[in-house]
Structure 1
Amino acid sequence: MARTSGGKEGPLLVCRNVKVSGRRTSLRMEPYIWESLKEICEREGMTLNEICTQIDQRKGEANLTASIRVFIVSYYRTAIGVRGFSENGPSSILRKAMDDAVPLDD
């Protein structure tokens, strides 16, 4: 896990490798973003690679890292709106957050 320093360049970023649609790619995001994404994966019973692949398939021309950040915000905003999280597998929260954050192009 590579890190870049904070300071004048901006916040601390953590670089991690993930597989998106079967191909390996590197993502640089803040530790809090990584922690939030991990929590969502645990709540939804999905792997990091699975969630990143779903976001990638919906993002169109947008940047994957930016799309992940928007997805995380959308997920938690949706959760607040429905008063809690589902404990039984993939939830309507995941689907709604995915649809709001990175809608499929028709």
Structure 2
Amino acid sequence: MAGEGKEGPILVCRNVKVSGRRTSLRMEPYIWDSLKEICERERLTLNEICTEIDSRRGDANLTASIRVFIVSYYRTAVGNRGFAEDGPSPLLRRALDDAVPVED
């Protein structure tokens, strides 16, 4: 299968700042592309979205939480019959709430 090595899918490592601290995340190129598209649609930086997800994830792994957020974002968009084209939408907040609920 294309894009896979002996150990499985190829992962891309990138550095991001989460809550002001630098960390590296290893995810598939398609996941990075999806996250970049969401950032562009919502007019947020990669660091801002990762920080928001991090603040909600509790004990869950950050990369897993990002993957779940991406799925939730697009599922919510499909359920809403498309995306808002003119800036931040309720879609972002709903996807975050569904994927990474705030722990009390």
TM-score relative to the length of structure 2 = 0.95
Aligned to 1:58: 56
The answer for unaligned runs of 5 or more in structure 2 is none
Q: Secondary structure at the match of 1:53?
A: helix
Q: Retained in 2: the 8 A contact 1:20–1:50?
A: yes
Report what 2:99 is aligned to.
101
CA RMSD of aligned residues (A): 1.0
Same amino acid, percent of matched pairs: 80
Number of aligned pairs? 102
- Give unmatched runs, 5+ long, in structure 1: none
| Deviation at residue 87 of structure 1 after TM alignment | 1.8
| Per-residue Cα deviation, 1:54-101 (whole angstroms, up to 9, x for no partner) | 000000000000000000000000000001111222211100000000
In terms of mean alpha carbon deviation, does 81-90 or 61-70 score higher?
A: 81-90
1:20-99 pair list within 5 angstroms: 20-99=18-97
- TM normalised by structure 1 equals 0.93
Moved over 4 A (4+): none
1:17 to 12, 15, 18: 15
